[in-house]
A and B are shown apart, each in its own frame.
Chain A
Amino acid sequence: MHKPIRALIRIQLKMQYSNVFKKPSVFLGLVLGLLGLLFIGLMFGGFVLQVIDLIYTMLEPSGNSNIILGALFLMNFIVLLLLSLTLVMNAFYFTEDISSFLHFPVYSYQLLIAKSVNPLVYVYLVTAGTYFPVSMYYGALSDAAAMYYVFALLLFFVIPVIPYSLASVTVMFVMLFVNKGKNKDRSKVIGGIIGFILLILLNVVLRLQHDPEKIADTIATSAEGGGLLHMATMYYPPAWLMTNLLTADSFWISLLYLIIVLVIASAAFWLFYAASQKLYLKGALGLNTGSGKQFNGKGLYRKEKSVVYAYRRKEIQTIFRTPTFFLQCVAGTLIMPVLLVVIILMGDFTSAASLAKSLDGSGLYVAILAANVLTIGLNPVSIVSFSKDGHSWEAHLFLPLKMRQIVFAKLQAAFLINLLPITVMFIAAVFVLQLTIWQAVLWLFLALLVNAAVTIIGMLSDLYYPKLGWTEESELFQNRLASLIAIVVSVGSLGMLIALLLLLNMQMLVSLLFTVLYICVLVAALLYSVRRLLRSADRTTLTK
Chain B
Amino acid sequence: MIQLDHVHKQYGGRIAVNDIHLTVPSGKIFGFLGPNGAGKSTTIKMVTGILPIDSGSITINGKDISTDTIAAKHEFGYVPDSPDLFLRLNGIDYLHFIGDIYGISADDRTARIEEYAKLFSIYEALSDQIKTYSHGMRQKLFITGLLVQQPSVWILDEPMTGLDPKSSYQLKELMRQHTAKGNTVFFSSHVLEVVEQLCDEVAIIRKGEMLFHGTLPEMREKFHSDESLEHIFLELTQDA
Contact = CB atoms under 8 A, between A and B. Distances in A.
Given A290-B125, A291-B128, A321-B88, A400 B48 contact: no
Interface in B106-159: 106, 110, 113-114, 123-129, 131-133
Interface stretch (B19-27, B73-81, B160-168, B169-177): B73-81
Contact of B101 (A296, A399, A543): A399
A397 B50 contact: yes
A392 B85 contact: yes
A297 to B, nearest CB: 8
Given A289-B132, A310-B101, A322 B88 contact: yes
Contacts of A314: 86, 89, 93, 97
A149 interface: no
B100 A304 contact: yes
Nearest to A323: B88
Given A400-B102, A540-B51, A295 B78 contact: no
| Closest 9 pairs (CB-CB, A-B) | A310-B100, A290-B132, A400-B73, A295-B126, A290-B128, A398-B48, A397-B50, A295-B127, A294-B124
13 contacts: A290-B125, A290-B128, A290-B132, A295-B92, A295-B123, A295-B125, A299-B92, A300-B114, A310-B101, A318-B88, A394-B80, A398-B48, A401-B101
A328 to B, nearest CB: 14
A290 B126 CA distance: 11
A300 B110 contact: yes
A402 B103 CA distance: 14
A302 interface: yes
B87 interface: yes
A303 interface: yes
Contacts of A399: 73, 101
Contacts of A267: none
A149 B89 CA distance: 56
A291 B92 CA distance: 14
A421 to B, nearest CB: 22
A303 B106 contact: yes
A305 B49 contact: no
B101 A400 contact: yes
A301 interface: yes
B92 A397 contact: no
Contacts of B99: 302, 304
A465 interface: no
Contacts of B113: 300
B70 interface: yes
A302 B78 contact: no
B124 A295 contact: yes
Contacts of A398: 48-50, 73, 78, 80
B85 to A, nearest CB: 4
A180 interface: no
A292 to B, nearest CB: 8
B197 interface: no
B238 interface: no
Interface in A397-424: 397-402
A236 interface: no
A398 B78 CA distance: 8
Contacts of B129: 290, 321
Interface of B: 48-52, 69-71, 73-74, 78, 80, 84-89, 91-93, 96-97, 99-106, 110, 113-114, 123-129, 131-133
Nearest to A399: B101
Contacts of B73: 398-400
Interface in A256-299: 288-291, 293-296, 298-299
A391 B88 CA distance: 12
A303 B69 CA distance: 27
Contacts of A401: 70, 101
Contacts of A311: 97, 101
Contact of A392 (B86, B102, B103): B86
Interface string A319-340: 0011000000000000000000
Given A295-B123, A302-B106, A321-B129, A394 B101 contact: no
A395 B100 contact: no
Nearest to B113: A300
Interface string A367-410: 00000000000000000000000011011011111100000000
Contacts of A100: none
Nearest to A473: B88
A304 B106 contact: yes
A291 B127 contact: yes
A307 interface: yes
A536 interface: no
B127 A293 contact: yes
Contact of A307 (B51, B93, B101, B133): B101
Contact of B96 (A291, A310, A322, A391): A310
A391 B70 contact: no
Contacts of B132: 288-291
A317 interface: yes
A309 interface: yes
A397 B129 CA distance: 22
A436 interface: no
Contacts of A291: 127-128, 132
A401 B97 CA distance: 12
A136 to B, nearest CB: 48
Contacts of A321: 88-89, 129
B44 to A, nearest CB: 10
Contact of A318 (B89, B105, B114, B128): B89
A308 B87 CA distance: 20
Contacts of A62: none
A16 interface: no
A309 B74 CA distance: 19
A466 to B, nearest CB: 16
A543 B197 CA distance: 37
Nearest to B137: A290
A306 interface: yes
- Taking each of A293, A321, A402, which has the highest tally of chain B beta carbons within 10 Å of its own beta carbon? A321
B208 to A, nearest CB: 20
Given A289-B132, A540-B51, 5 more contacts: A293-B127, A300-B113, A310-B97, A398-B73, A398-B80
Given A295-B126, A300-B113, A400-B101, A395 B86 contact: yes
A534 to B, nearest CB: 14
B96 A302 contact: yes
A321 B55 CA distance: 42
Contacts of A302: 96, 99, 106, 110
B88 A307 contact: no
A167 to B, nearest CB: 28
Contact of A304 (B48, B103, B124, B133): B103
Contact of A305 (B100, B102, B125, B128): B100
